[in-house]
Structure 1
Amino acid sequence: MVTQFVLRKQKKNAAGECPVQMIVYFDGARLACSIGEKCKVTDWNADRQQFRRSYPLAEDANRLLARLTADVLSWWRTLRATGEAPTLAGLRAALRPAPAAKVAVVEQYSLTQLNEEHGLALRARGYADHTLRQRKMMGSWLVAYEQASGELLDPTTYDLATHDRLLTYLRFDRNLAQNTVASVVRGLKVLLRWCREERGLAVGVELRKLQGRHADVVKMWLSADDLKALATVMLPEYLGRVRDVLLFCCYTGLRYSDVWALQPGNLHEWNGARVLRLVQTKTRTGVSIYLTEAAGAILDKYADRERLRLLPVLANQVMNRYLKRVGKYAGLTAPVVVAEQVDGVIIKSSVPKYELLTTHTARHTFATQSLLRGMPVEVLQKVMGHAKIQTTLIYAKVIEDLQHQTMRRVWEGQGAMDSTGAQSSQICAVEPSAA
């Protein structure tokens, strides 16, 4: 086999350039093919069959000629091994091989990374810290699942099978409560909707099909007798402070985060009395709360202390631990039935009331006691800072006393309420507690 490169001067174009042609001789057969390069006659060295230095990028062009020669030689050896005859089409294919098929690169996304971006977006948009903490907690569970299973949670491939594997891990491998898992599912749906609507990703599952059932939990609240027992029980000083904070929240409906942040600037005069004006930490809703005599007495008890906060509020976990001691001292030992779902089976057990006492019990107590005293639901909604009245109505549904009183009054004409809307036996006339 012999290979030559020639300049076809008879094919000169308007710019004075001539095409370079490759001629290959195979045992008497001759094949000619253009290599796609052109140059002027003065840029071509016919003796050496290569480009002169005057040709732009002559070194690269001559390397091309050498590579073409090697490609044709390799092609010729393949033909001899298979016994095939050389053809012009084969020569052209050897000189210009078809480009290798591009391997499609599938871009992958991680819900854990996207959750971090979502959290930054929510923070920039001014969402409350409570919401940001929920997103961060959900992200930690997603990270734990990816590390434990070795499976990337990609929103574009997330399907019901993946969802069930995630729930199985959270519920059984990590022993999370059913409502905690339901909260993760709720946050996951928010994240996937954000991926689809704001990041343009093709989410691979219908969000309505992502299930995570929420179990109803009975809201525990304190009766008027419970409040009286708490207010009058003798306690060590450190527990007395914890008890006072609890009672103050029972009289005002404040969450732990709000009572912890109370400052002198939240106190205002109103019509000869005092009110609290604050922006709730969780919802950032502005509320105004009238201070009853009992609530005001608790504030006055700690007024002489120089500090930034109005009340001696401890860390929430410490408060909850101490409150169980307070409840036990106060005799809150009535059994309360609690239900837990384990492997789809409802398991019920009785525990003393004081074991369920937490700082949030005070908020439930304020709501239920306010309704028992005849406070309109619309007013209670404003005091508690609920965005939707449906949230406030939850308390009306769980107050059996209110239901029974109403039925007795309507059907039997008994149990008439006083001017406040509650029976005298339900009025919580609690005197300010002693130190």
Structure 2
Amino acid sequence: MSTEYDPARTYELDRRHVFHSWSAQAEISPMVVTRAEGSYLWDGDGNRLLDFSSQLVNTNIGHQHPAVVEAIATQARRLATVAPQHANDQRSEAARLIAERAPGDLDRVFFTNGGADADEHAARMARLVTGRPKILTRYRSYHGGTQQAINFTGDPRRFANDDGKSGTVHFFGPYLYRSAFYATTEEEECARALAHLEQVIELEGPATLAGILLEAVPGTAGIMIPPPGYLAGVRELCDRYGIMLIADEVMTGFGRTGAWFHTAAEGVVPDLLTFAKGVNSGYVPMGGVVLGPRVYEHFAHRPYPGGLTYSGHPLAAAAAVASINAMESEGIVANALRIGEQVLGPGLAALRRRHPSVGEVRGKGVFWAIELVADRETREPVAPTGGSSPVMAAATAEAKRLGMLPFVNSNRIHAVPPCTVSDAEAKEGLEILDRVLDRVDALVAEG
């Protein structure tokens, strides 16, 4: 069999046999990716692209990190798979490393295959422990594509799958730029968002509410960093009403905001914390729920009614162990924080000053959103929530033409490079974005 890579054949077979997620199948032209390294990947035409998407915001340690690749290969030669009821050294060590970095007394890990099933199992645990049926989640959120997780989600991707029977109630979270509370300061936004949440709790009936499921920082929905005190305020409301706080750190976990976990950096300890993506940069699928004594004790002498064939799969666990150790020894989390403070943050602020189509930039670490508007005064977005537009399509095409793979959603370009990104690579990304925004400015001016 030939080992030569044939991009044309890859594309042909994809279009003939692969059914893509979130897509109208006959209307897409997937880019062929042939290889990747560090902060870059190469397409089927041989073009090198700076990966400012981190794929789906998960290649935190960059592409093809040699220590992680070698750990997977070594584990495959020794023990490629094992049933989850048996202990194996890589799963045990991965659990230890994750628990040591989780906030507070969260010290046990239930492993899943990804973020959606992690959120579903966390909600199941909350319901079983409290004996209550409902979960509160915010609008402008994303929690996964499985049936329960997509109903937890608070954006338009939910609509086609929402039958109103999931036991989910949505509320508005803080988003000062488009405040639902007519706030003009972060302090007002925080106070009014918490007052709104408490009113929802009271009107839904606290005795019916098992958990509040929140992304520590909403990611795909717009990277809205919660104002100071908001997460602590939600924690206090949960304590007051006997509700379990479930922190979704699938996108924020393992360095993305310049911390191992955003909740830990905020000094907030949830009852349950979900992770996936960044734990091993997606090299092998893995997710999980980190839980503390309250949940553990509930199931200490009664079976937990749930499990997965690949829970703590040894290849995924080996990748997680190697990834966490590399992040620690190479200062990758600290690098993400520094890049955000010294390069991306100031650079994106300068782009906003220079380009009238940029309504707001916001973020932390290597987790930033550029919100594009047709008019700064009215804040009219250049594309609808959950949709696209000719302006956003042109922005995406221009970025690729200039050598960047961007992460684009609705009216936003997200600047989300790997946590390993260098100063030079981050500056390269800013230079490309500057030229992309020139194009956006021109299109907006044309109307």
Q: Do the structures match in fold with TM over 0.5?
A: no
**Larger fraction in helix:** 1
Q: Which has the higher contact order (CA 8 A, sep 6+)?
A: 2
Larger gyration radius, structure 1 or structure 2: 1
TM-score for the superposition, normalised by structure 2: 0.23
TM-score for the superposition, normalised by structure 1: 0.24
